[in-house]
Amino acid sequence: MILIAETEYELSAIRAQGAGGQNVNKVSSAIHLRFYILASSLTDSLKQRLLHLPDSRITDLGVLVLKAQQYRTQEANKKDAIRRLHEIINAANHVKPMRYATRPTYGAKQRRLQSKTQRGQIKQMRGKIASQKNEH
Q: What is the mean pLDDT of the chain?
A: 84
Residue type, 2: I
| pTM beyond 0.85, yes or no | no
Please compute the mean of the pLDDT values over residues 85-93 and round it to a whole number: 87
What is the pLDDT confidence band of residue 131, given thresholds at 50, 70 and 90? Answer: confident
Q: What is the DSSP letter of 66?
A: E
Residues 6+ positions from 73 with CB-CB distance below 8 Å? 29
Out of 3.30.160.20, 3.40.50.300, 3.30.930.10, 3.40.190.10, select the CATH number for domain 6-93. 3.30.160.20
Dihedral of CA atoms 87, 88, 90, 92 in degrees, nearest 10, equals 160
Output phi, psi for 132, to 5 deg.
Answer: -100, 80
pLDDT at 136 over 60: no
Taking each helix axis as running N to C, give the angle between helix 74-93 and helix 44-51, from 0 to 180 degrees, rounded to the nearest 10: 110
Domain extents in the chain: 6-93
Alpha helices in the chain (DSSP H): 22-26, 44-51, 74-93, 106-124
pLDDT of 49-84, one tens digit each?
A: 888 888 888 888 888 888 888 888 888 998 999 999
C-alpha 134/C-alpha 127 separation (Å) is: 21
More confident residue, 14 or 25: 14
